[in-house]
């Protein structure tokens, strides 16, 4: 059997009028006219088939039935208010799930996430490593790092960094018979590829290094694997200095040449356009942009 509910607008008008024992004050609270309150109370009384208020000497009083009804429903309205405040508070801060490629998570965010949680201890951070696919933002992820040109339908995007690519290798490759002294020396070494050979092809073409065989060297599925192989002296990676920063800072990797190339694509922080202004998303967006900018300024 279908549950029967009284008109909700009428119920809200009754709760306000019973609380204040005044139609005028109830109208002020709900931003309506006194006549609107009177109309809603009449609808509710007709629905219930009983009187809820009495007027005596220009004073508004509750009937016995009205008083009992008010005591019951005021707790319900209090619970609705508390539940709404709790939900809105959780939406504003609470937990934030950040989706990003595993390499970005391990190489950049994880070493710095303590800086964010120290500033915002009331935001529970959850990091979700995903494959490098532009379609991984779903209902389980609040904000994500995408790689591309910043144009995604129905998404709000903020550019984090243009990808700057430069050869990276172990310091060991600066020694011995095949020591790296100039760009031409790349021909003496194994090239390490991230996902495909196309990036090395573009980089070598940009610097007109046509004599270097780009169709050699292993291909890795993740940037962190390429960087690890380079740090072990297995070849030369074409790396993003943002993701390689931990290895560069530790000395496991070096950038032997000054030449670098800005790719057309870059890293973007994205979220559903409808939720872009949610407080926790805004807080994280402002923090990560400021963190990247401050580090780039320090390294300039």
Q: Is residue 295 assigned to a domain?
A: yes
pLDDT for 66 equals 92
Answer for the pair 159, 268: CB distance below 8 angstroms, yes or no.
yes
pLDDT at 161: 87
The Cα–Cα gap between 70 and 52 comes to: 9
**If you average pLDDT over each of 265-269, 275-279, 282-286, which comes out highest?**
282-286
**pLDDT for the residue 3:** 67
pLDDT tens across 6-50, in order? 888 999 999 999 999 999 999 999 999 999 999 999 999 999 999
CB 270 within 8 A of CB 137: yes
Tally of domains in the chain? 3
- Check which CATH number belongs to the domain holding 151 and give it: 3.40.190.10
Same domain, 250 and 191: yes
Report the pLDDT averaged over residues 97-110. Answer: 90
pLDDT tens for 37-88 read 999 999 999 999 999 999 888 889 999 999 999 999 999 988 887 777 666 6
Q: What is the distance, to the nearest Å, from the Cα of residue 255 to the centroid of all Cα atoms in its chain?
A: 32
Q: Which two tokens stand for residue 234?
A: 């297995």
pLDDT above 90 covers what percent of the chain? Answer: 60
Final residue of a structural domain among 61, 92, 123: 92
Place of tokens 């995903």: 130
Q: What domain range includes position 52?
A: 8-92
Q: Report yes or no on 56 lying in a domain.
A: yes
Is residue 2 domain-resident? no
Within a domain: residue 178? yes
Q: Quick check: is 1 in a domain?
A: no
- Average pLDDT of the chain to the nearest whole number: 89
Q: Is 3 domain-assigned?
A: no
Statement to judge: residues 234 and 255 lie in one domain = yes
Mean pLDDT across 234-248: 90
Q: Give the pair of three-digit tokens for residue 78.
A: 């209090």
- Residues 148 and 68 both lie in one domain: no
H or E element in which residue 41 lies = helix 34-48
Q: Which of 8, 84, 68 is nearest to 40 (CA)?
A: 8
Give kind and range of the element (H or E) at residue 168: strand 155-168
Q: Is the pLDDT of residue 101 over 80?
A: yes
Same structural domain for residues 87 and 99?
no
């Amino acid at each position: 059997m279908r549950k029967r509910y009284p008109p909700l607008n009428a119920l809200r008008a009754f709760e306000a009028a019973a609380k204040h024992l005044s139609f005028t004050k109830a109208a002020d609270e709900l931003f309506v006219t006194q006549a609107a309150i009177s109309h809603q109370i009449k609808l509710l009384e007709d629905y219930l088939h009983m009187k809820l208020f009495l007027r005596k000497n220009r004073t508004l009083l509750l009937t016995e039935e009205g008083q009992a009804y008010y005591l019951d429903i005021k707790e319900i309205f209090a619970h609705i208010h508390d539940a709404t405040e709790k939900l809105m508070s959780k939406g504003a801060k609470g937990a934030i799930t950040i989706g990003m490629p595993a390499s970005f998570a391990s190489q950049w965010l994880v070493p710095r996430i303590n800086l964010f949680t120290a500033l915002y201890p009331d935001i529970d951070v959850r990091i979700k490593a995903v494959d490098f696919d532009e379609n991984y933002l779903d209902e389980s992820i609040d904000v994500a790092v995408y790689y591309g040109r910043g144009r995604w339908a129905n998404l709000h995007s903020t550019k984090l960094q243009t990808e700057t690519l430069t050869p990276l290798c172990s310091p060991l490759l600066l020694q011995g018979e095949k020591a790296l002294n100039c760009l031409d020396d790349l021909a003496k070494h194994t090239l390490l590829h991230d996902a495909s050979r196309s990036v090395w092809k573009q980089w070598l073409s940009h610097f007109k290094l046509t004599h270097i065989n780009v169709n050699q060297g292993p291909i890795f599925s993740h940037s962190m694997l390429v960087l690890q192989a380079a740090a072990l002296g297995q070849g030369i990676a074409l790396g993003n200095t943002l993701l390689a920063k931990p290895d560069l800072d530790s000395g496991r990797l070096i950038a032997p040449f000054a030449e670098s190339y800005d790719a057309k694509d870059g890293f973007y922080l994205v979220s559903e356009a409808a939720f872009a202004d949610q407080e926790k998303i805004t807080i994280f967006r402002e923090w990560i942009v400021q963190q990247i900018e401050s580090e780039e300024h320090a390294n300039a």
